Structure 1
Amino acid sequence: MATSPVSSPDQSSAPSSVRPSPLLSLPGAVAAEAPDEGVAAHYGDPLREQRRLAEGRGFVDLSHRGVVRVSGPDRLSWLHSLTTQYLTGLKPGEATLTLVLSPHGHIEHAMYAVDDGEALWAHVEPGTAPALVAFLDRMRFLLRVEVEDVTDAYAVVFEPVPEPLADAAGPPARVTADGRELFLPRADLAAFGAEHADPAGMWAYEALRIAAHRPRVGNETDHRTIVHEVGWIDTAVHLDKGCYRGQETVARVQNLGRPPRRLVFLHLDGTEEKLPATGAPVELDGRPVGFVTSAARHHELGTIALALIKRNTAVDAVLRADGVPASQEVVVPA
């Protein structure tokens, strides 16, 4: 499969209209830029906010993300047939990550989902819920499912507490080893911010995501990205399930083992103040071998980044990311 190793990420799905969060009125809030408009980049001290999240304190306003709700008795078997994950028999409260691929196996959507026993709730990248819902609606046929874009009614909030809510009647919550993502009624968002201490912004949240090597659609992906390149084959794809859109590409690359690119974690030279821009070139000996997908300043690791580079780039090679020297840490094996 031919791909360009220096193509920049496709962020054309960014929201055309931004809904500012009421939590931008909290003390010290500074608004984030694309693709995270509408929520806070930080509340005055992003490194301190990172440390608090790492210690299991605080919360992050993710209300700019899209929210999709799928109900009906056929919802799990139907989504199982359309996406990469094994969803038949998904238990209430069990978190999952599933992908929608193009017919050629390129990543289109990542659904961070949980089923509450009556409906499956998923949050997706900002501005992408309408396109996802439109696709799913076209695939319903005569099945007993209903698909809704409920972004106007619900907002996502992250808490670094990897435990279910004590109140079983509370909002739907997607609980993982990193914390829990609450699907709050949007009308309750301001009250949540007033009642909870230590807000953290997207700079802190993104720095921890990058340090954990977690890809994000629109940053670590472009219109040609396949699951093997970014490491989602282990966490978002079930290899022993029936046919779904894009499965042929997944199976072929899995069997042949030749993805054209690989995701890599970069430790950047700390003497440089420059933070590489998303889409900036990654070079080896003056030759482009890939591009920066995300970068941040981490409270312990310093300046860090994720990048997509040519698969055959030596894993011990010292690269330059947007002109800054950078050593590699393997995420996807060469």
Structure 2
Amino acid sequence: MPGAAAADVADTTDFAAAGENASIGDWHSAVAWHYGDPLVEQRHLQEDCGVVDRSHYRVIEVTGDDRLTYLNTLFSQKVDDAQPGTVTEALNLDANGHVQHHMTVTILESSVLIDVAPSGFESLLKYLYMMVFWSKVEITEAQRAIISVMGPRAPETLVAAGLAFPQVGKAAPVGNSVVRHLPWPAGGRVDVLVRREDLAGAWDALVNAGAAPVGLMGWEAERVVSLRPEMGLDIDEKMIPHEAPRWIASEFDTAAVHLNKGCYRGQETVSRVHNVGRSPRVTVMLQLDGSATLPSTGDAVMAGKRSVGRMGTVVQHADFGPIALALVKRSAQEREDLTVGECAVSVDPASIDRIEQLPPGRVAMNRLRGK
């Protein structure tokens, strides 16, 4: 029975005990990787409606009178005046602008929910505790699990399951759950944040309403195509926000970085790169030679004998075959001699970050110099 299977694989004991030093296999062992036919499962996310158990993610709840101003001073997103029902993304950076955490932020009437991949939960929670000082806030782990619903038939499926289909970028409480709508992967997704004790029942309700069970492999494939890096897989200790262009802004994505706010750690790097420079590396999607041994996360991307990047998530996609996210040097995006071990790779043309115009600060500097 799908609900029973979801309850079995969604137990949080394994990844909570494993902690942040666990491998991706440890994190994924908490949920189903697939239900027997992963490529067919992924089709449901594209063509009708699929539901993915993402209960290995963990959720922090921040309450108290100062919750919005407190979070606004810490992260790259502007939330000090956010209205209840707002859903956005944010980054936590170090003093040099290196990415420490990526999170989804849901603003409710009297609290803020922050969910992160399991690799970043403990360190983010510790950081939030350390930065309280005089702020009137309380920080706890929220015992909530995330289920994601995607596909063209998601609206009617959610309604049939007794839930809701909010507008993009909005969240709505429904009973004991919170339902929110984000714009990626392609076509968007609706996350249902349920109490952990309600996970099996919520899963069953969605499946009975017509959603097909889809393993995490389907979600990961869509995430890679969406060029969305994840902590512990695609982000190294040197990564800065502009190296993931979808975090900055686009016409169809929720940006994780608000470019018109300051007063947060690492903001100087964000401003400098955006206004006068370019990121040294960029997140791209690699197409892999399926006849060779597939590379692993962390392997070096090579151009001849020179390392030009780092492999991230590797996964099979229903349309593209074997693909991966990678951080590569900007100058190497269009090279034709890229390899990872014995595997030939190439950057998918649609993911190449071509900057056609100089950044505004550089234009102003050139004017002053008479160029």
Class of the TM-score when normalised by the shorter of the 2 chains:
0.7 to 0.9
TM-score, normalisation: structure 1? 0.84
Runs of 4+ in 1 over 6 A off after TM superposition: none
Deviation at 1:21, TM superposition (A): 6.4
Matched, 1:175 2:167: no
Give secondary structure in 1 for the equivalent of 2:29. coil
CA distance in 2, matches of 1:331, 1:187: 43
Give 1:18-57 correspondences, 5 Å limit: 22-24=7-9, 33-57=25-49
Amino acid at match of 1:159: V
| Number of equivalenced pairs | 306
2:295 pairs, out of 270, 276, 290, with 276
Higher Cα Rg: structure 1 or 2? 2
Where relative contact order (Cα < 8 A, 6+ residues apart) is larger, the structure is: 1
Matched, 1:196 2:180: no
1:93 pairs, out of 74, 85, 99, with 85
1:224 pairs, out of 238, 246, 267, with 238
TM-score, normalisation: structure 2? 0.77
Give secondary structure in 2 for the equivalent of 1:40. coil
CA distance in 2, matches of 1:24, 1:73: 37
Partner of 1:265: 285
- The answer on whether the counterparts of 2:51 and 2:147 sit within 8 Å (CA) in structure 1 is yes
Give secondary structure in 1 for the equivalent of 2:25. coil
Deviation at 1:186, TM superposition (A): 0.4
Partner of 1:243: 263
Worse-superposed segment, 187-196 or 237-246: 187-196
1:327 pairs, out of 328, 333, 346, with 346
Partner of 1:312: 331
CA distance in 2, matches of 1:166, 1:138: 30
CA distance in 2, matches of 1:204, 1:180: 15
Partner of 2:18: none
Worse-superposed segment, 280-289 or 324-333: 324-333
Partner of 2:160: none
Give secondary structure in 2 for the equivalent of 1:187. helix
1:233 pairs, out of 241, 244, 248, with 248
Deviation digits for residues 97-139 of structure 1 (CA, Å, limit 9, x no counterpart): 0011111111111111111211111210115323212211221
CA distance in 1, matches of 2:218, 2:176: 26
Give secondary structure in 1 for the equivalent of 2:263. coil
Amino acid at match of 1:298: H
Sequence identity (%)? 37
Residue ranges of structure 2 left out of the alignment (5+ in a row): 11-23, 156-164, 250-254, 356-371
* RMSD, aligned CA: 2.3
Deviation at 1:22, TM superposition (A): 2.1
Amino acid at match of 2:288: L
Matched, 1:296 2:315: yes
Deviation digits for residues 265-300 of structure 1 (CA, Å, limit 9, x no counterpart): 112234x15332111221112422112111111111
User: More helix per residue: 1 or 2?
Assistant: 2
- The answer on whether the counterparts of 1:42 and 1:201 sit within 8 Å (CA) in structure 2 is yes
Deviation digits for residues 54-108 of structure 1 (CA, Å, limit 9, x no counterpart): 2241211111111101112221122111100111222222210001111111111
